[in-house]
Amino acid sequence: MIPPFDIFKWKAAAFAGWKRRLTWNALKRECESSSASSPGEYIILNQITGEKITIQPKSKRIVFQIGYEERGMKARAELLRRFGHEVISVTHNEAAKVALSSYHDVELFIVGHTAPEQTRKEMVAWLKANYLK
């Protein structure tokens, strides 16, 4: 039996992959896991009915990280970008406050662990006062 569902992935206006799935549940699982690690547009084709469903990628989540040492901040940014996030990195609290005047749709804040506890607490308190939804 030929599986009735095909999943086509489009990336940057080019065909990037194809998979075939037998059931709707398998299709849902595939789309969820694929879109988390490999963002792009997915087209699902039902081979029986010819119906096409297009799944558009969600807009990138903005992650804002305040780091206190360069190496760890770069590694964390690279990891987050691999999973489709837009990452904005700044060093130290004052730079963060200035930079955040330009960003309003931040989904996640990361405060690095290498600064003294009081410095981190001050930044978290400022973020709570200015960005808590």
**DSSP secondary structure letters along 52-75:** EEEEPPPPPPEEEEEESSHHHHHH
Model confidence at 13: pLDDT above 50 = no
Token pair 């780091």 is found at 67
Q: Compute the distance between CA of residue 129 and CA of residue 110 in angstroms, rounded to an integer.
A: 16
Distance from the Cα of residue 22 to its chain's centroid: 28
Q: Compute the distance between CA of residue 52 and CA of residue 44 in angstroms, rounded to an integer.
A: 6
Question: Helix (H, G, I), strand (E, B), or coil: what is residue 18?
Answer: strand
Model confidence over 74-104: pLDDT tens digits? Answer: 999 999 988 888 899 999 999 999 999 888 7
Q: What is the mean pLDDT of the chain?
A: 80
pLDDT band at 7 (very low <50, low <70, confident <90, very high): low
Lowest mean pLDDT among 9-13, 54-58, 102-106: 9-13
